[in-house]
């Protein structure tokens, strides 16, 4: 199919883009990487009357860092995060592990992190990371700028707190402290597919005891999920990662996996995975991702002790 007819503008500034999005009563869409929008337009599931192409808005093409935060502008493509060094510390490692699972290189070279947050697909890796890591979104609309914490932003599949006249200009992630271990594991049918289930985890420990945990679940509900009950169950437990491939059923990571699957997640049936299968996959993947994060944290401890 071909897209229905639409008007097109290519503003040069955020101000012009916001003016265009106001739309004079027309249905508008933002064109960022186009990796979701163009497909939807071809299928005529989305029929904008006006497409606002933001690719010439230079002020959106920046990634800024300070001591505590990375701020990712709306034109930063997925592949900017393929190197662990793109963002300092454990957050860079986590982003690099997650982004490798997003589609394939041509899509990663066009699609944007902010576009993923705007689209809010329940299987989006970036959406789960934004939620788990307490990111903040920056928006500009005709009423001026505002910020929305990720925890208040996702309302359902493809539904968010963004108003139609608002442009998301950037997302800010707090950096992770050096002593934080990170893990990301994804399960999907083929490399081309979106995640059936994926898990992002961070663990922080003092004297071998877990004092902080964050778990983000991808495609485990109609929107991204932060597995707070599972996180809570980990506090005060031993960080020691289990040896071998399997996480024993009585290990705290396996228990956290079961809690995430039963209490935090709300999976829906899909053609290739019923709810029971998906809960089982969530439990197993959470356990394994926590083990990966614990190993990552141990490696940091070993490296920092070796450096003294
Ligand atoms: C074959 C294939 C496989 C894929 N696999 C994955 C995957 O595994 N994981 C994953 O997360 N994604 C996947 N994607 C989607 C891809 O990551 C897209 O890049 C992403 O969903 C949207 O980003 P974009 O910049 O391309 O946005 P666009 O397609 O340009 O826009 C998408 C939507 O977001 C809105 N929008 C975009 N930017 C803004 C903004 N700054 N402010 C307000 N609204 C905005 C648009 O109006 C539109 O509604 C896949 C896509 C394809 C085609």
Rounded mean pLDDT of 288-300? 95
Ligand 1 pocket (Cβ < 6 Å) reads: 29-37, 39, 74, 102-103, 107, 111-112, 114-116, 118-119, 121, 124-125, 167-168, 194
Rounded mean pLDDT of 53-66? 97
DSSP for 56-71, written as a single string: T-GGGS-EEE-SSEEE
Ligand 1 atom index nearest CA of 167: 42
Q: What is the CATH number of domain 181-306?
A: 3.30.390.50
Q: What is the pLDDT of residue 308?
A: 56
Q: What is the CA radius of gyration of the chain?
A: 20
Whether the pLDDT of residue 187 is over 90: the answer is yes
- Write down the mean pLDDT value for the chain: 95
Say which CATH class 7-53 falls into. alpha beta
- Ligand 1 midpoint to CA 302 (Å): 39
pLDDT digits (tens, 9 = 90+) for 4-52: 999 999 999 999 999 999 977 899 999 999 999 999 999 999 999 999 9
Q: Where are the domains of the chain?
A: 7-53, 62-170, 181-306
Same fold, 7-53 and 62-170: no
Q: What is the CATH number of domain 62-170?
A: 3.30.465.10
Q: What is the pLDDT of residue 251?
A: 95
E strand map for the chain = 7-9, 28-31, 50-53, 63-65, 69-73, 136-141, 144-149, 154-156, 159-160, 167-174, 180-187, 197-206, 209-218, 225-226
Would you place residue 180 in the very low, low, confident or very high pLDDT band (cuts 50, 70, 90)?
very high
Question: pTM of the prediction?
Answer: 0.97
């Amino acid at each position: 199919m071909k897209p229905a007819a639409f008007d097109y503008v290519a503003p040069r500034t955020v101000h012009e883009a916001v003016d265009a999005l106001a739309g004079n009563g027309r249905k508008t869409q933002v064109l960022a990487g186009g990796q979701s929008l163009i497909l939807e337009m071809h299928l005529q599931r989305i029929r904008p009357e006006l497409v606002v192409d933001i690719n010439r808005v230079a002020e959106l093409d920046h990634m800024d860092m300070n001591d505590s935060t990375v701020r990712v502008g709306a034109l930063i493509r997925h592949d900017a995060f393929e190197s662990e060094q793109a963002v300092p510390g454990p957050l860079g490692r986590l982003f690099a592990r997650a982004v490798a699972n997003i589609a394939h290189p041509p899509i990663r070279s066009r699609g944007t992190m902010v576009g993923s947050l705007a689209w809010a697909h329940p299987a989006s890796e970036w959406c789960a990371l934004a939620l788990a890591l307490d990111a903040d979104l920056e928006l500009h609309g005709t009423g001026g700028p505002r910020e929305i914490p990720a925890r208040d932003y996702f309302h359902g599949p493809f539904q968010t707190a963004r108003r139609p006249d608002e442009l998301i200009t950037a997302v800010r992630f707090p950096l992770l402290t050096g002593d934080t271990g990170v893990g990301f594991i994804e399960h999907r049918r083929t490399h081309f597919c979106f995640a059936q289930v994926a898990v992002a985890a961070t663990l922080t420990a003092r004297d071998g005891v877990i004092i902080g945990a964050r778990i983000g679940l991808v495609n485990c509900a109609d929107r991204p999920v932060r597995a707070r009950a599972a996180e809570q169950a980990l506090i005060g437990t031993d960080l020691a990662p289990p040896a071998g491939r399997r996480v024993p059923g009585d290990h705290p990571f396996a228990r956290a996996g079961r809690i995430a699957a039963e209490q935090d997640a709300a999976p829906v049936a899909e053609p290739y995975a019923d709810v029971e299968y998906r809960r089982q996959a969530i439990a197993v993947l959470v356990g394994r991702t926590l083990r990966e994060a614990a190993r990552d944290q141990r490696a940091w401890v070993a490296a920092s002790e070796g450096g003294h």
